[in-house]
């Protein structure tokens, strides 16, 4: 369903009536940050982790806002309007409108946009059969830990994947795996779960954190480390994760089968744990 209502700079408006200045620095420079938060059974999933990451992104780009976490949460709740189904919330904050000049404006009023929309789940067939991916050079900047709206390199990578019949681009920088165009990547190798170590080269995925928590709690050996292109190519299993795709198995990379070419046993285990966690979350048993 199309987005009907949005929050924009203190007002709740029909989407069609919301507008921003053509001089908005988000539009002109991509000068802003964002978050995407899944909502299960009407409850905002991992909200504190998303808000902490938002605060981190804002601090790193030196963009102060006056809204507190409680006020942001109230905006989300009003947009969700007591809906009890699954949804997602999008929040974007830019450095506002000012005459075009790269340096920060003296006077700054951020542009704050938020809206809720239906959570479009990946087709169930993707979980069962897996998805295809292609390798692509990581051409992004060196601060991928900031959830910036400057996503051109991600867009080009994902479009390359799309044009090659793949769901995701697996990004490599200097022969090492970073992440997907819009997802975290996990490699299962010799019974161990590997994912790229946190740092400036990847986004600290909120789903990544939960996958690691669940996997480690259930006896899978996990390591956050440097992963070479060869290790990815020899993986027994490869998964992607994100707030909207949850966890999906990648069964083909650059036209070659990953492991057995089917979702592997560790994927089956993690997706079961993830679904159980979501069910408990919906019932308010975990946060």
- Residues recognised as catalytic: 147
Neighbouring-strand partners of residue 223: 194
Q: How far is the CB of 204 from ligand PDD (least distance, A)?
A: 8
Contact indicator for 238, 250 with CB cutoff of 8 Å: yes
- CB-nearer residue toward ligand PDD: 7 or 45: 45
For residue 70, the minimal CB distance to ligand PDD (Å) is 22
Q: How far is the CB of 107 from ligand PDD (least distance, A)?
A: 30
At closest approach, how far in Å is the CB of 56 from ligand PDD? 12
**What span, in angstroms and rounded, lies between the C-alpha atoms of 31 and 262?**
41
Q: Binding residues for ligand PDD, per CB under 6 A?
A: 36, 154, 179, 182-184, 203, 205-208, 241-244
Parallel/antiparallel/unpaired status of strands 131-137 and 168-173: parallel
Q: Based on CB atoms, which residue is closest to ligand PDD, 191 or 199?
A: 199
Which CB atom, from 98 or from 116, has the smaller least distance to ligand PDD? 116
Q: Which is nearer to ligand PDD, 77 or 145 (CB)?
A: 145
- Please say which residue, 26 or 205, places its beta carbon nearer to ligand PDD: 205
Cα atoms in the 13 Å half-sphere on the side-chain side of 267: 30
Closest contact distance (angstroms) between CB of 118 and ligand PDD is: 14
Quick one: 135 or 243, whose CB is closer to ligand PDD? 243
Nearest CA-CA partner of 136 in 166, 108, 115 = 166
The CA distance from 136 to 127, in Å, is 23
In the complex, minimum distance from the CB of residue 110 to ligand PDD, in angstroms, rounded to a whole number: 20
């Amino acid at each position: 369903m199309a987005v009907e209502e949005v929050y924009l700079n203190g007002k709740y408006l029909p989407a069609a009536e919301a507008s921003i200045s053509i001089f908005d620095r988000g539009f002109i420079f991509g000068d802003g940050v964002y978050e995407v938060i899944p909502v299960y059974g009407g409850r905002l999933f991992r909200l504190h982790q998303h808000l902490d990451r938002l605060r981190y992104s804002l601090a790193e780009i030196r963009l102060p806002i006056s809204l507190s976490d409680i006020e942001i949460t109230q905006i989300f709740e009003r947009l969700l309007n007591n809906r009890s189904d699954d949804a997602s919330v999008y929040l974007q904050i830019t450095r506002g409108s000012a005459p075009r000049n790269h340096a920060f404006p003296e006077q700054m009023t951020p542009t704050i946009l938020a809206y809720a929309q239906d959570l479009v789940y990946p087709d169930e067939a993707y979980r069962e059969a897996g998805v295809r991916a292609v390798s692509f050079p990581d051409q992004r900047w060196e601060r991928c830990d900031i959830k910036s709206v400057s996503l051109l390199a991600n867009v080009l990578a994902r479009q390359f994947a799309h044009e090659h019949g793949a769901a995701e681009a697996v990004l490599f920088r200097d022969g090492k795996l970073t992440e997907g165009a819009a997802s975290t990547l996990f490699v299962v190798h010799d019974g161990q779960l590997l994912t790229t170590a946190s740092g400036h080269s990847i986004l600290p995925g909120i789903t990544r954190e939960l996958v690691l928590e669940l996997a480690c709690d259930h006896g899978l050996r996990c390591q956050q480390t440097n992963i070479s292109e060869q290790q990815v190519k020899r993986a027994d299993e490869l998964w992607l994760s994100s707030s909207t795709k949850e966890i999906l198995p990648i069964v083909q990379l650059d036209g070659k089968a990953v492991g057995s070419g089917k979702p592997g046993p560790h994927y089956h285990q993690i997706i079961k744990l993830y679904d159980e966690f979501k069910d408990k979350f919906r019932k308010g048993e975990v946060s």
